[in-house]
Each structure stands twice: as structure tokens, then as C-alpha cells.
Amino acid sequence: MKFKEFGIKKDILNAIRKAGYEEATPIQEKSIPVIMEGHDVIGLAQTGTGKTAAFALPILNSIEYRKKPRVRALILAPTRELAIQTFENFKKYGRYMDLRTVCLYGGAKKGNQIGHLRRGADIIIATPGRLLDLENEGFVKLDQVEYFVLDEADRMLDMGFIPDIRKINSMLPANRQMIMFSATMERAVENLAMEMLTNPVRIQVAPQNNAADTVEQKLIFTEGANKDIILTTFLKQEINSKENQELPRKDRKNAIVFTRTKRGADRLNKALKKHGLMSVAIHGDKTQGQRKDALDRFRSGQVSILVATDVAARGLDIPKLNYVFNYDLPEESDNYVHRIGRTGRAGESGVAYTLCCEDELSLLYEIEKLIGKEIPETETKWSIHLERKKKPSFDPRRNRRGRGGYKGGNKNFNRNNRNNSKDSKRENFKGNRHTHDSRKPHKERSSENRPESTYKKSRNENRTGKKPAIKFSRKLNENKRSAR
């Protein structure tokens, strides 16, 4: 569907054309008319589907220029990166309009943001904490808000923002139109929607919790100690190849590598550098400036490898991402869908590799249950044979070693030791076969090596289930939703 069929203003159509969009994406096709009609909306969309424009375009379309700006649209995002990204999208689509858009987020000095607010704001894009701070201090007035958007609602819940959101909601006029987007639709998100939305229209563009179809998923079973060598061998081959390096920056292949902890991200970033791979790391301990700088360098193609934790990487829009590596499996299975959704965006294709060691089988179990299928296995020189696990009857977080670290067994693993039945499928990962073990021994968990996330206890209850273990079979589809 063409954008002009929505009856959108010319200024916005020109901006869309300048952005290079030809047709509306499915989520845009479904959401834009419904939002324009004034309905509340609960949208369930995969990352990279164009959901920002799905709410930004109808909002921009309805907000008229005022000499004295008043906040008429409020968009809440869970992380500063997502807030900045949404802000940039609003600027892009509203480039030919005279509206004032202000972005508020924590981790940066307030002065600049207060300066922008003093000059007036028609649209505010904010993380909840900073917005409440500035409202408290009298710099923000929310009593004329017409549109209230909650982006990544599931993430907001995970991060414990709900009290803040309720507080913000209570400051808005009762008749504001509300739009809520979530990548997953768990019970808590449904409850929030029931509490805050009025007769919402439900919009869904892809089956729930299904990873983007354009992402090819591959699983590598390996020893924790061999993850580095698998990763560096692959990256040297794909990213550092002469062929890739000779391409113009923007066309070079790139990869995001996800680690579970901040310490893990720093360690891996150093290890990659030692191997001559240019990489940058982002995680919650980096300053806003460092995170922005790392992302800018990665987006521009100056650096082709980004090492990230889930907290820092959620919701990031990186156009043309070729590879996602799950160096560690995520503690929360939802994050698997978000991680791999970084690639294969807006029609591009991508590959997501998951490196899984024995200690992580319980997490793999949760992920495969969520996505409703087994991730196809692929072999490397460092692959081992592992059986997929039965339902875990313990909390894997308490028992699992950090970083999927080396856990006994034969360090000088010889591929002849394992089941070689899938030799024909083995990928041509070149490189030395000896074990690379640059990692330090496992340390007790401190705040640094704890997973970088805050999750509510209730979300993990299914992992501590006391029921007898059930057989992990291929009938995953049938069981897909039952445990969540």
C-alpha cells in the first residue's frame, strides 16, 4: 500500500519519500488507519517491522503547529538508545514540519534537556525515570497530551517501570489516545493493556514470539572454552577478509555479538582486539557518550563488530546487520527473539548463530519452547555432541557457570571424540583446531558478572518448577505457550 492512500499530509509524504520508503510495511498498513480513526491500539510486532513509523506518522499527521508549543504526544521508551532512535525517526518523518520534538533520557546531564523544554515541546520522547524527574521539577506539563505511546511494553515490565508508567498515565488527560507496542504478549502485558487502554484494536503482523522469517538461525554445540575460537575464526573469515575490507564502509559485512554480562562483553571485546578484529562494546556501565560513540562507529561501518549485552542492545535499529552471535545464551528466552531480530530487518536477510555449551542447555530448552521449534544445528571443528535437555527442574541461573565457561572434560578436545555423523553438514570454519582458552577461571558472581538485566521474580517461576521433568520432544509447537 502506498503512503498517500492513508491521506497523510504532503510534508510527511515528502519526508517518507526522502527516507526511501516506497510502500507501507504490514504493521504500518494495519496501524496507521486505525490510529488516524482515533482508536486505542495494542500492537504486537516483531522488531524491525517498521513499528516506529506505524505510530509516528499518524501522530505527526494530526498535530498542528502552534506558536506556543504544548506537549501533545508523549512516547515512552525503555532505554535511552531506543528513545534516541525513536526521536531520530520523528525528526526524519517530521523534517518538513515546524513541530518541536524533545528527547529526555537518564545518564545525561539535565541542563541541555531542560534548555530544549524551555524552548517548548510538541512531542516528547522519553525514558520514564527522567521524564518524572523533570516533571517533578516543573519543566514538563503533561495535561494537554493527546497521544500516549508505550513502546516495547514487555521490556518496560521487565525493567520494573510499571509504577512510573502508572504515575505518568495519571498525569495525562483521561481522553488521551493510547498506543502500546510490544514484541511479545505475555499475561502481564495483556493486563497492562486492559488497565490502560480503552476498547483497543489489536494489531498483529507476525505469529507471536516467532523470530523474523528472514533470519536464518543456526545452533553450534560446543565447549564453553571453545566459544572464543569459533567466534574469532568466523569473524576473521567473514569480517576481516580482504574482500570484505575492500568494500565501501557502508557495504561491509558486520556482526553483533551478545554476551550475558558486562564483564563478559568487556573481556570478549579485548579478546577480539587481540585477534586483530576491530570491535566496540556497549553495556550498561558505559557512559551515554561512549555508547553513542560506539553505535555511531558501528552504524557508519568504521567498526564492523559490536559486542553488546541485552540491556544496551534492545530495540536498536542497525540497518543491514549480517550476523548476530549469541556468545552466551540469554537468561530470558524473550531476549533471544529480540537479539536475532537485530538482523533480517525490513526485508534484509541475516544469520543468527547461537553458541551453546552443556551448562546452557536449560536456557536452550526455554528458547526453543518459546519459538516453537528446534534451532537447526550446524557443525564446526569445535562442535561437540550434546543432547537437548529435558525440562529443567532447577534454577539454571543458580547452578550455571558464568559465561558458559570451561567445565572440566577434555580441554584438548579432538573432534574424533564426538559423534561425527553430521560431518557432511560441517561448516568450513578454517583455523587452528587447538583449544583457545584465554579466559580466566570462573569467578563468584559479583554485580559485574551478573546478567545485565532486572527481571521480576515471577517471570522465572517456570524455571524453578517442581513438577517432574518432561521429555523435550519435537512436539514443541503444542507446548509452546503452556509454560509462559
Residues 336-355 touching ligand AMP, rule: CB under 6 A, are 345-346
Choosing from 8, 15, 24, 205, the residue that interacts with ligand AMP (CB under 6 A) is: 24
49 binds ligand AMP (CB under 6 A): yes
Crossing angle between the packed helical segments 26-36 and 51-62, to the nearest 10 degrees: 30
Q: Which is nearer to ligand AMP, 46 or 383 (CB)?
A: 46
Q: How far apart are CA 378 and CA 425, in angstroms?
A: 7
Torsion from C-alpha of 280, 257, 81, 336, nearest 10 degrees: -170
Q: Which is nearer to ligand AMP, 53 or 219 (CB)?
A: 53
Chain position carrying cell 567466534: 231
Choosing from 7, 115, 319, 409, the residue that interacts with ligand AMP (CB under 6 A) is: 319
Give the shortest CB-286-to-ligand AMP separation in angstroms. Answer: 22
β-bridge mates for residue 202, sequence order = 42
Q: How far apart are CA 259 and CA 405, in angstroms?
A: 12
Q: Which is nearer to ligand AMP, 61 or 269 (CB)?
A: 61
DSSP letter at 146 equals: -
317 binds ligand AMP (CB under 6 A): yes
Q: Are 31 and 201 in contact (CB under 8 A)?
A: no
Q: Give the three-class secondary structure for 363.
A: helix
Window of 19-27, 189-197, 427-435, 450-458 that interacts with ligand AMP by CB under 6 A = 19-27
184 binds ligand AMP (CB under 6 A): no
Torsion from C-alpha of 247, 251, 252, 258, nearest 10 degrees: 180
318 binds ligand AMP (CB under 6 A): no
Q: How far apart are CA 204 and CA 216, in angstroms?
A: 22
Backbone angles phi, psi at 155, to 5 degrees: -70, -40
Crossing angle between the packed helical segments 187-196 and 162-170, to the nearest 10 degrees: 10
Window of 18-26, 202-210, 420-428, 458-466 that interacts with ligand AMP by CB under 6 A = 18-26
51 binds ligand AMP (CB under 6 A): yes
The grid cell for 212 is: 523474523
CA distances from 6 to 12, 14, 147, 379 (A): 11, 14, 19, 49
Window of 51-59, 64-72, 111-119, 194-202 that interacts with ligand AMP by CB under 6 A = 51-59
25 binds ligand AMP (CB under 6 A): yes
Window of 22-30, 64-72, 174-182, 245-253 that interacts with ligand AMP by CB under 6 A = 22-30
Q: How far apart are CA 311 and CA 314, in angstroms?
A: 6
Please count the residues of this chain forming the interface with ligand AMP, following the rule CB under 6 A.
Answer: 15
Q: Which is nearer to ligand AMP, 52 or 309 (CB)?
A: 52
Q: Are 352 and 340 in contact (CB under 8 A)?
A: yes
Q: Give the three-class secondary structure for 293.
A: helix
Choosing from 50, 330, 396, 402, the residue that interacts with ligand AMP (CB under 6 A) is: 50
Give the shortest CB-82-to-ligand AMP separation in angstroms. Answer: 9
53 binds ligand AMP (CB under 6 A): yes
Give the shortest CB-25-to-ligand AMP separation in angstroms. Answer: 5
Window of 42-50, 57-65, 195-203, 204-212 that interacts with ligand AMP by CB under 6 A = 42-50
Choosing from 48, 69, 350, 405, the residue that interacts with ligand AMP (CB under 6 A) is: 48
Which helix or strand (DSSP H or E) is residue 148 part of? Answer: strand 147-150
Window of 34-42, 50-58, 110-118, 368-376 that interacts with ligand AMP by CB under 6 A = 50-58
Q: Which is nearer to ligand AMP, 154 or 317 (CB)?
A: 317
β-bridge mates for residue 102, sequence order = 124
Q: How far apart are CA 98 and CA 422, in angstroms?
A: 61
| Region class of 50: left (phi > 0), else alpha (psi between -120 and 50), else beta | left
Q: How far apart are CA 75 and CA 126, in angstroms?
A: 6
Window of 49-57, 71-79, 268-276, 370-378 that interacts with ligand AMP by CB under 6 A = 49-57
Q: Which is nearer to ligand AMP, 48 or 200 (CB)?
A: 48
Q: Which is nearer to ligand AMP, 207 or 319 (CB)?
A: 319
Q: Which is nearer to ligand AMP, 206 or 483 (CB)?
A: 206
Q: Which is nearer to ligand AMP, 43 or 451 (CB)?
A: 43
Window of 24-32, 181-189, 230-238, 364-372 that interacts with ligand AMP by CB under 6 A = 24-32
E strands present in 259-376:
279-282, 305-308, 323-326, 350-356
Give the shortest CB-43-to-ligand AMP separation in angstroms. Answer: 11
Choosing from 21, 33, 62, 88, the residue that interacts with ligand AMP (CB under 6 A) is: 21
Q: Which is nearer to ligand AMP, 261 or 343 (CB)?
A: 343
DSSP H helices in 63-205: 80-93, 110-118, 128-136, 153-158, 162-170, 187-196
43 binds ligand AMP (CB under 6 A): no
Q: Which is nearer to ligand AMP, 90 or 472 (CB)?
A: 90
- The residue ranges that bind ligand AMP (CB under 6 A) are 21, 24-25, 28, 47-53, 317, 319, 345-346
